[in-house]
Every structure is written in structure tokens, then in C-alpha cells.
Amino acid sequence: MAAAVPVRPVTASRARRRHRLRVLAFLSPWLVGFSLFFAYPLAATVYFSFFRYNLFQLTPVGLTNYRFLFKDPYAWRAIKNTLWLVVVMVPLRVLFGLALAQLLTRIKRGGNILRSIFYLPFLIPPVAATVAFVFVVNPGTGPLNDIAAKIGIHLPDWFNDPAWTKPGLTLLALWSIGDVMIILLAALLDVPRSLYEAAAIDGANAWQRFRRITLPTISPVLLFSAVTGVIQTLQYFTQAMVAANASQGNADQAGTTTAPGYPDGASLTFPQTLYNEGFQQFNMGYACVLALVLFVVAMFFTLILLRQFHAFGDEE
């Protein structure tokens, strides 16, 4: 009779190894996507930032591209404009979206119609929406200035006056507020009514209920809206470029190439500078430096917002 084959017991180290392999197997789709679409492009961007690269020749230049950034007036003008939009446009969009969402929660009749009206501008393609908005507020062609003049209000020349171009872009962003509004509306409708009832019984007024119940409950959604708003604004490109072209009368001319930033650099954003350097001037090495700066700034603002909202949650 043949002797029985002894079964080797599974040791703790082998069990941990098998567990790690299972975890890696489940994570492998994400790891492959992360490596191909984030880690490798980021590493390649860092690598090419040390070269003068025009898609044909690769010449090592060390830190020359980084040093040139500190002397580039166009890049610094774009940085100032983009930071202005981040500091002004993003908070206004969140506050305006929250105000509209709060208004819609209180309207009993016709709320669905108003919800659709407020959301419709967001569904318009950015190019068409920007051209239409520039046409409406243009003093020579649009009806808004004529209507305002009849009631004694003189509006500025939004997209031809450097002092009013960024406020004009902010108004355009507030007009297409539907994405922020609908997210915050869903968050407000998800706040338990029982909390408001208990606070009202305790004698809390409307502001105290909003401060102590509404804001802490919807704070994750506010954080999401703020972070995504900052990232989108740091990548602000289409509306600024189309507004500059449309205000010059170039919106309907196919293939028209104009210098970005009209008027007088007021609409020049950081992504426009990056695009101009990389795909019009073919300074790919310097464009990689600009892309890295954009990445670092986006991470910085995201970390600041996370810390601020975390501190707000601890206070509550």
C-alpha cells in the first residue's frame, strides 16, 4: 500500500503572499490605467522639460526652460489672470449655485420649470454659449446695453475693455451655473427634514439652521464643487479664447489665428500660454515646464481646500 503524500501546511507568509497577489489582481486595471495615462505622461513631461524640443530635435538645456519661466512676461500675465479667475470666479460660482439651489428648495409651484431654465445654459456647447453671450453684451450688436441705457444704466464694453474682460468672463461662468446648482440642489434635498424640525423646536432661527445643519451636512458636496471648480478654472481655455476672437469679429472665420489675450492680455490664461508655446511655437520643452507648474498649482489649491474643509468639519 502506497504511503500517503504529506500535505504541507500553509504558512503565514505564504497566506500573506497570496493575499497580496489577489489584491494586486483586483487593482491591476487601475494600476495599468494610472501608469499609462498619468505616471508615464508625468514622467515624460519632467524629462522633456530639461530639453529644447521642437518635435524633431531634442537638445539638452538643463534648467534653461525653468529659468526662462521667471523672465517670461506673458507667462506671468497669464498666471495673474488665472489666479484672479480662481479667487473670484470659483467662490462666486459656488455661492451663486448654492443660492439658486436654496431658492429652488423653497419654491413649491413651478420649481421644475425654473430648474430647467437655470440648467439649460450649461447644456449649450461652450463655443456657442460664449459667442452668444459676447453678442448679447456687445454694445454695437447686443440688446442688453440698449435695454440698460433706456433705464439709465450704462454698461461697460465687457470684452473690449481690459478692465472689464475678466468680470465679463465671470458673468459668463455665472450664466452657465447649472452644473454646480444641480449638484448642490441634490445635496440640499438630501438633508434630513427631522434635523430642521428639531432645531426649530429648540428655537433656532433660519440662519442658525443654515449654519449649524445645512452647511455641515452638505460640506462634502461644497468641497467637491470647490475642488472641481478650481481645477476647471486653472484649465480655463475655450471661453477666454472664443470671447477674445468673437469680440474682434473673428468667430465666424475658419482657420483664423490671432494672438491670445485680447484685449491687451486681459483674457490671457495659463492654458492659452501653454498651448501657444507647445502647439504654435513648438517650444515643447518650455511647454512641459508650464504644464508642471499647472499641475503643482492645482495640487496646492486642492490641498488647501481639503485642509480648510477638514478644519471646518472639526469645528462642527
> At residue 59, what are phi and psi to the nearest 5 degrees?
-120, 120
* Each residue's pLDDT tens digit, 210-222: 888 998 899 889 9
* Each residue's pLDDT tens digit, 158-182: 888 889 999 999 999 999 999 999 9
Q: How far apart are CA 261 and CA 165, in angstroms?
A: 10
In one letter, which amino acid is 132?
Answer: A
pTM for the model: 0.84
Q: Which residue has the higher pLDDT, 178 or 10?
A: 178
According to DSSP, residue 9 is labeled P
Alpha helices (H) in the chain, listed in sequence order: 12-34, 40-48, 64-69, 73-106, 111-123, 126-137, 143-150, 162-175, 178-189, 193-201, 206-209, 215-234, 238-247, 270-275, 284-315
Q: Does the pLDDT of residue 157 top 90, yes or no?
A: no
Give residue for cell 429648540.
202
Give residue for cell 483674457.
267
The residue among 98, 96, 90 whose CA lies nearest residue 184 is 98
Q: How far apart are CA 289 and CA 206, in angstroms?
A: 50
Q: How far apart are CA 308 and CA 302, in angstroms?
A: 10
Count Cβ atoms within 10 A of the Cβ of residue 261 and give its class: 0-12 exposed, 13-18 middle, 19 or more buried. Answer: buried
* Each residue's pLDDT tens digit, 183-211: 999 999 998 888 888 888 888 888 888 88
In one letter, which amino acid is 53?
Answer: Y
Q: Report the pLDDT value the prediction gives residue 312, as an integer from 0 to 100.
A: 56
The residue among 244, 285, 228 whose CA lies nearest residue 160 is 244
Q: Report the pLDDT value the prediction gives residue 106, as an integer from 0 to 100.
A: 87
Q: Report the pLDDT value the prediction gives residue 165, as an integer from 0 to 100.
A: 92
CB 183 within 8 A of CB 221: yes
Helix (H, G, I), strand (E, B) or coil at 141: coil
- Beta carbons within 8 Å of 196's beta carbon, 6+ residues apart: 209, 213
**Could you tell me the three cell numbers for 98?**
448654492
Q: Does the pLDDT of residue 254 top 60, yes or no?
A: no
* Each residue's pLDDT tens digit, 85-134: 999 999 999 999 999 999 998 887 877 888 888 999 999 999 999 999 99
CB 302 within 8 A of CB 231: yes
